[in-house]
Amino acid sequence: MKINKKIESFLHRRGFTHPDVRSLVRNQLYLTAGTCLIAAVVSIGFAPWALGLAAGAVLITFNFWSLAKFGQHLAYMRKGAVVSLLIRFYGRLILSGLAIYGLIVWGQCSIYALLAGLSTVVVNAIFWGVAGFRQKVKEA
């Protein structure tokens, strides 16, 4: 597919050098775009629910993007890897918590919709794992 190659080259230019990480991030971008599209279509009459769904998917995609990009470099760090990992982890955790708090309190988003949006990364990981397992079974 042409769009896959364009997104793969875009991600490679952004520092995603490992092919499996690139495919995971690419699929997460697809899931987020699909989730936001579904939220836009369904938003008539369900605006807080649709906003929560889209916001959860976008928030977890930013988190996943950051984690995937940093995780590639973490494997090659000789010193300070643990401290760097902890600082970035807690920084993302605090910012995500504040964003979720703001979406719930001020945005009046549905908690269930936020959880559904946040779970897109789990769906992505499951599909990626099943696809990888199926490929290994076919090769055997």
**How far are the Cα atoms of 2, 26, 49, 121 from residue 5, in angstroms, in the given order?**
5, 10, 33, 21
Residue 40: per-residue pLDDT: 87
Residue ranges, the chain, pLDDT below 70? 1, 45-46, 137-140
Residue 82: per-residue pLDDT: 81
* Torsion 35-23-14-115 (CA) sign: positive
* CA–centroid distance for 19 within its chain: 16
Residue 79: per-residue pLDDT: 80
DSSP state of 80: S
Cβ atoms of 116 and 56 within 8 Å: the answer is yes
What DSSP line would sit under 5-18, residue for residue? HHHHHHHHHTT--S
Contacts of 40 (CB under 8 A, 6+ apart): 50, 54
**How far are the Cα atoms of 19, 63, 108 from residue 26, in angstroms, in the given order?**
10, 14, 30
pLDDT digits (tens, 9 = 90+) for 19-58: 989 999 999 999 999 999 988 888 776 678 888 999 999 9
Residue 65: per-residue pLDDT: 94
| Rounded Cα–Cα distance for residues 100 and 32 (Å) | 17
Two structure tokens written together for 76: 């090659």
Residue 41: per-residue pLDDT: 87
